[in-house]
Amino acid sequence: MTRFFLLLLMAFVCAPAVLAQDRDYSRYEFVGGYAFQRASNNAQTVDKNGRVTFNGNTVLFDEKYQSYNGFYGEFNQNITRHIGIVTSFTGTYDTSNYVDLKTGNVFPAHVQRYDLLIGPRYNWRLSGITPFVHAMAGFTHMRTSFDAALSSQRTRDTSFAMAFGGGLDVHAGEHIDLRVAQVDYLPTFFNGTHQNNIRVGAGVKIK
């Protein structure tokens, strides 16, 4: 009887390892790498209708698209072989020139963008590669700090955001994949308006 219980105990202990060997995917995945965004400078969110005061003068900023560089990280929990829930965080930065539409004056500013998104991902697990698509929702937080010589004013705003896109992972080892590319359409809704942004990333996935 004692031997029977010992064998039963060994079976319970070894079962997860055996099942893990049969599974061709990891339960948890972490990704980190470089991120690039082509996104609106959200001039209208600096103040209502894009107006802000510099040294007693009210300016109306030009809204345009800027290039932001930074990093991104992901945590993905795979529920099944194909379906997972991914949480994504991105931080991108740029030093931009805001232009007063009334006078043409240029106002340098340091801009920070942070995106926190979560949603489902579908993976096609093929031999050597894993293409994937996803849809996420969350928020984008933006901070703008103008040149101290012009004004010490700092502005910030947070908006609902979404991300629709996908990418490709190339298997490099048992616990490592290369995130060759990831491309997302990232709409935001600052100040009740709609901005169309693009995000591109690449990095390393740890399984």
As a whole number of angstroms, the distance between CA 188 and CA 191 comes to 10
For residue range 114-152, what is the model confidence (pLDDT) as tens digits? 999 999 999 999 989 999 999 999 999 998 888 755 555
The pLDDT, as a whole number, for residue 153 is 64
Domain assignment present for residue 10? The answer is no
Domain assignment present for residue 96? The answer is yes
Domain assignment present for residue 9? The answer is no
- Name the maximum alpha-carbon separation found in the chain: 92
Which pTM was predicted?
0.80
The pLDDT, as a whole number, for residue 52 is 67
The pLDDT, as a whole number, for residue 152 is 55
The total domain count for the chain is 1
Domain assignment present for residue 4? The answer is no
Per DSSP, the residues of 38-64 read EEE--GGGTSGGGEEEETTEEEEBPP-
Domain assignment present for residue 199? The answer is yes
User: In the chain, which residues have pLDDT < 50?
Assistant: 1-9, 11-22
State the CATH number of the domain containing residue 202. Answer: 2.40.160.20
Domain that holds residue 67: 26-206
* Number of Cα atoms under 13 Å in the Cβ half of residue 84: 25
The pLDDT, as a whole number, for residue 23 is 64
Which own/partner pairs from 15-23 qualify as long-range (CB within 8 Å, at least 24 positions apart)?
A: 23/81
Domain assignment present for residue 146? The answer is yes
Per DSSP, the residues of 99-128 read EBTTT--EEEEEEEEEEEEEEEEEE---SS
Domain assignment present for residue 19? The answer is no
Domain assignment present for residue 123? The answer is yes
The pLDDT, as a whole number, for residue 20 is 43
